[in-house]
Amino acid sequence: ANDAHYLRALDHATSAGDLLQLVRIHTNRASLHLEEGDVAESLAEADLALRLADLAGFALLRAIALSNRAEALLALGRLDEAYAELEAARQLYERLGSPMAAYAYQELGDIHRLRGDRAAARSSYSRAISLAETVDDVQGTVPALAGLATLLAADEPGVASKLVLRALDAGP
């Protein structure tokens, strides 16, 4: 049903020539496809969103599309490509002064953790938490808390437990 609404929205945005809405819809569909496990469709939607964002000069939406693309690449195990996309997104978010940089930092933390770079992972997760909490962004805070807790579980179980409790207290 979600995708049906997006497809209907795409028809309306196309008819209206509303480039902003087209980019937003394609970034949302990229995320939706990834949540449903369709990585190929997620990449296709993210690529389309990137082209449209570049055409219109929508820097914030470009950063979101880059993050979506990176998440799909990460799901495919393509860590180097995902890292490059996240770095580009992080730089855009920070240039714009957006706390949404938390999303890029959280996923960068995941990549560092997967690569075994504990110090860089801890730093990335901590930065993500700090940015997301400044704007009470639960969607940004909880995954970063969970990532940091996962990183610390073996060596610092007490700290990891406190992070898990913070994540649980953040809400649904």
Q: Which tens digits make up the pLDDT trace of 31-89? A: 999 999 999 999 999 999 999 999 999 999 999 999 999 999 999 999 999 999 999 99
51: exposed, middle or buried (C-beta count within 10 Å: 0-12, 13-18, 19+)?
middle
Closest CA to 25 of 46, 1, 54: 46
Mean pLDDT of the chain: 96
Closest CA to 84 of 107, 100, 57: 107
Dist CA 65 CA 23 (whole Å)? 9
Dist CA 139 CA 172 (whole Å)? 9
pLDDT in tens, 136-150: 999 999 999 999 999
Q: At what angle do helices 39-56 and 59-75 cross, to 10 degrees?
A: 160
- CA distance readout (Å), 97 to 61, 103, 135: 14, 13, 13
Amino acid at 135: V
Q: How many CB atoms are located within 10 Å of the residue 24 CB?
A: 21
- CA distance readout (Å), 66 to 50, 70, 90: 7, 6, 9
pLDDT score recorded for residue 155: 96
- What pTM was estimated for this model as a whole? 0.92
Band (3; pLDDT cuts 50, 70, 90): confident
- Tokens representing residue 114 in the block: 């997967």
